[in-house]
Amino acid sequence: MTTDVTGILRQTDLFRLLAAQDLETVAGASRLRILGRGQIVFTKGDPGDALIVVISGRVKVVARSADGGELTLTIIGPSKTFGELSIADGGPRSADAETLERCELLFVPGAMIRDICARVPAMAQALTTSIAESQRRLTEAASDRVFLDLPRRVAKVLLSQPQSVDGVIRLNLTQEELAHQVGGTRQSVNMALRSFERRGWITVRDRVVAVIEAAALARFAGS
């Protein structure tokens, strides 16, 4: 099956307002890559020469310490983009990016995006908005790590997951991945989940966490 690159770009917030001719030009210059689970997309300090669109799968953006500690900054899913900061300022990558599962990714040349932004104000505004949204998420996450205890941070991540068609929120992360996102250990995350389960807010079966009392969990998290 041939991937509809133009259609994929049209689904993103960044490219959806582009004229058809510009969209075709971007599609023609972009390249597709398929990566397996746990593969590196880029590392901190790499040249930021492309913006990346997630076609399928999920990518985590992480900060790592010298002793191997890991903090997940964000998780990027289908039809979302990442790498905007390096496109805007021309600097190197500021964090690592790694696949959480098999991914199909589209790499769009940064020079082309900057050229279009110079000609198309709507594109420049979309890029600015994307960077601002990322900054807001990072600011909120940093605030949560300072002012919320770990169980409440876990609750907020659970509530941030998309709802299924049956209205249930299911966690699409392992407990270790969840620990990296909330800045805790796997053991402390497990304790928080078991506490939520005892209160009847979630179920944990076959390693799948499902939120069944979202309102109660939200009150606990202060959302």
What is the tens place of the pLDDT at every residue in 183-194?
A: 999 999 999 999
Rounded to the nearest 5 percent, the helix, strand and coil shares of the chain are: 45, 25, 30
Tell me: do 165 and 88 sit in the same domain: no
pLDDT digits (tens, 9 = 90+) for 144-173: 989 999 999 999 999 988 888 777 888 888
Give the HSE-up count for residue 121: Cα atoms under 13 Å, Cβ half-sphere.
0
Total tally of structural domains belonging to the chain: 2
What is the phi/psi pair of residue 95, to 5°? -155, 180
In whole angstroms, give the CA distance from residue 86 to residue 144. Answer: 26
Place of tokens 């959480």: 100
pLDDT digits (tens, 9 = 90+) for 40-84: 999 999 999 999 999 999 999 999 988 888 899 999 999 999 999
What pLDDT does residue 86 have?
A: 93
Boundary (domain end) residue, out of 140, 166, 182: 140
The arithmetic mean of pLDDT across residues 106-131, rounded, is: 94
Residue 212: give the domain boundaries: 148-221
Report the mean per-residue pLDDT for the chain: 92
pLDDT confidence bin for 2, thresholds 50/70/90: low
Tell me: do 134 and 25 sit in the same domain: yes
Residue 90 one-letter amino acid: G
Tell me: do 158 and 207 sit in the same domain: yes
Tell me: do 116 and 209 sit in the same domain: no
Tell me: do 124 and 169 sit in the same domain: no
Tell me: do 98 and 114 sit in the same domain: yes
1, pLDDT greater than 50: no
Tell me: do 185 and 212 sit in the same domain: yes
Tell me: do 74 and 28 sit in the same domain: yes
Tell me the three state secondary structure of residue 221. helix
Whichever domain contains 177, its CATH number is 1.10.10.10
Share of the chain above pLDDT 70, in %: 99
Tell me: do 168 and 65 sit in the same domain: no
Closest CA to 18 of 157, 163, 109, 120: 120
Closest CA to 8 of 50, 52, 55, 51: 55
What pLDDT does residue 119 have?
A: 93
Tell me: do 40 and 71 sit in the same domain: yes
In whole angstroms, give the CA distance from residue 31 to residue 107. Answer: 5
Boundary (domain end) residue, out of 140, 163, 184: 140
